[in-house]
Amino acid sequence: MDRRFWKAAAVSAVLAAGTWLSAGEEFLLGGSAHFSKSRADVNTTLDLMVEGGLSATRDDIVWDGWERERGKYSPQGYYEDYINRAFKLGLRPMHLINYGHRLYDPSGVLLFENPNPPQEAFDAFGRFAGWVAARYRAKGNAPQIYQIWNEWPGPAAPYAKTLAAAYVQMKKADPDCIVVANSCHRGDAFLEETFQQGVLQYCDGIAWHNYNHSELTPKNRSAETFFARVCYVLEISKKYNNGIPKPMYLTEIGRPNHLGIQGSTEAEVADYLTRLLLLVRTEPAIKGAWIYNFLDSGYDPYYFEHNFGLCTADETPKEAFYAVRSIADVIRHGKFVRRWKTPEDVWLLQFRMPDGRDVLAAWTAVSDVRHQLIFSRGSAPDVPAELLVAGGVPTVRKWGWLEWVNADSNKEIGLGGRHKDEISFTAGSRPVLLFGKLDGISLRAVKRIERLPKDNGNGGIKVPEEVILVGKSLDQAQDHPLGSELQYRRLGGLGPRNGVADLDASFRIAYDKKNLLLEVSVTDDIPSNDYHGNRLWNGDSLQLAFSALDRREKGPAGTEYALALTPQGPEVFREASQLDLETPTQVKLDAKRSGTKTVYRITVPFAEIGVDPKPGIPIGMSLVVNDNDGKGRKGYLHWGDGIANGKNPDRYNWIVLQ
């Protein structure tokens, strides 16, 4: 996608005239807490959401937990408690109707990869969705919002059929309910394919969630770039909606504060979220945004999924909690007026509150620069304003200030630099908001203040936990076992590993003039992999990653592959390329299975991973052996890290060519 278009779309959006929300409609500022996964206390968490300024929630209705027998529906107790408490507190829930049912589809996960999905499953899902809509029709004081599936992983056509079945039944049960389509998380091409399948005719809005924390350059991982992409998606929707953007619900936005090149500090998360929320409010087609996640999902400092929360797992607020709370009233109730003309890397947005106050929100989109903004009062009344740095406490700011030192030259002026009818403040990467009667003021000057670039940690190389010396003979190479309990990680609730008979592995490695040569031997009692392409890793498979340690111009990066023996034969899928390659991979896989043992022989060209194969050269490497016994990926063995528990090449082990 052309990022120039993203930028043009974003600028076009924010320069448009502001639009009030519909009468009685409030922008939904929400959060998710995974009550369905027993990861939060309902009462305490919802109370804390309200204290944090949020107005909406989002959680799962998991179909197979609500329909134990065909046609007999019963809500789960936690969900009823959650809904009743949410309505009592004035929180507006988004009901997320999710997943499949083995009573109607033997694959168990509704229709997303079954080549011949039974019509009965579509019909049954529609009936269930209609029952849910009827049950909650009279709840609360606003129309109920439902999302149909989260992160549909399969083809577009069966999803469109699933959505249509649900939409028809839900509108019969509750004509006023709002039906939102599946979260788009798989890229714009798949999203457009769903539109081509007629999805927009069977929904009242589209859900979109994506993340850009994995980008390595500051610009590509910025809130501004994320927002520009959102605007691009709205442009796509116009093509299939009579030239009108389809209402959008940002069902997940967020940034993790884990350790690693893709992580952020708590302060950077607060910067990102407050900027993104202010930007989102400039586009009237966006009806709400749900922060993922309200609570951390664990305490592993390196695992990104554990570190998305506005609060820690024990509900201790983090910096972003206070930053979001401080601007929540503007986000929920403000009317966007315009973007002021400023230098390219400075954002200055104007909002108007229902009480008539104006709000100016300013920040700098470049982390190593601040800007001083100087405003003249003009025809505005000579009454004090309030100044707020997001996350802080408002302070009174009267008209008139002393410019005792010049921001351009850094030279002292002293008491002679007094300005009677002006207000000045300095904005960096955290938004600064000015509240007051500001109609008639003007922006007199914007002065750039350079700062030293921060050390982002990319310059050093992390010492690995283990190093292997690699020779030139695979047959004589040392065998490296992977079967210990310390090398196994369990996932989900599919049961523990039942010893080495369930899953065991070892590997050997060597090299020649042009290639790395690996042999991985895996013992698995139940071979299972019917996945392909970017979902190959979900079945019994290998994941293999390399990092050329001397190619660190943009920080640590890696090349990652998924490899498997499928019913159609050996398959290799390149997940990421340190060299940004888009050509087909040249990695070769020979895989043979005999009984419960599979031997993978892998040839990896040095040229594809960016390595000049000289003796003494260290190469980052990590290996994962995934286990799926037919009911889902239940765990994996690993040598090194940085693949399955968060993408982080800093956590690879090393191999050193001899």
pLDDT the model gives residue 456 = 43
* Confidence tier at 13 by pLDDT (50, 70, 90): very low
Quote the pTM value: 0.74
Q: Give all domains of the chain, ordered by start, each with its CATH number.
A: 3-333 (3.20.20.80), 346-450 (2.60.40), 467-657 (2.60.40.1190)
User: Could you tell me if 485 and 406 are in contact, meaning their C-beta atoms sit under 8 angstroms apart?
Assistant: no
Mean pLDDT (whole number) for 166-195: 90
Phi-psi region of 108 (alpha: psi -120 to 50; beta: other; left: phi over 0): left
Span 426-437, pLDDT tens digits? 999 999 999 999
| Candidate ranges 98-102, 149-153, 337-341; pick with highest mean pLDDT | 337-341
Span 270-297, pLDDT tens digits? 999 999 999 999 999 999 999 999 999 9
Q: Does 493 or 360 have the greater pLDDT score?
A: 360
pLDDT the model gives residue 268 = 95
Among residues 41, 32, 56, the alpha carbon closest in space to that of 308 is found at: 32
What distance in Å separates the CA atoms of residue 338 and residue 329, rounded to the nearest whole number? Answer: 18
Among residues 25, 81, 96, 19, the alpha carbon closest in space to that of 55 is found at: 25
Span 45-66, pLDDT tens digits? 999 999 999 999 999 999 989 9
Measuring CA to CA, how many Å separate 22 from each of 19, 137, 299, 327, 410? Answer: 9, 21, 42, 21, 49
Mean pLDDT (whole number) for 110-115: 56
* Confidence tier at 115 by pLDDT (50, 70, 90): low
Span 519-578, pLDDT tens digits? 999 999 999 888 899 889 999 999 999 998 877 555 568 899 999 999 999 999 999 999
Q: In what order do the strands lie in the sheet with 480-481?
A: 480-481, 503-511, 515-524, 597-605, 588-594
Tokens of 188: 């714009």
Strand partners, 442: 376
Tokens of 605: 């060209």
* Confidence tier at 14 by pLDDT (50, 70, 90): very low
Strand partners, 484: none
> Residues 6 or more apart from 610 whose CB is under 8 A from it?
548, 551, 559, 578, 579
Phi and psi at residue 61, to the nearest 5°: -110, 105
Coarse DSSP helix, strand, coil percentages of the chain, rounded to the nearest 5 percent: 25, 30, 45
Span 213-262, pLDDT tens digits? 888 778 888 999 999 999 999 999 999 999 999 999 999 999 999 887 77
* pLDDT of residue 15 exceeding 60: no
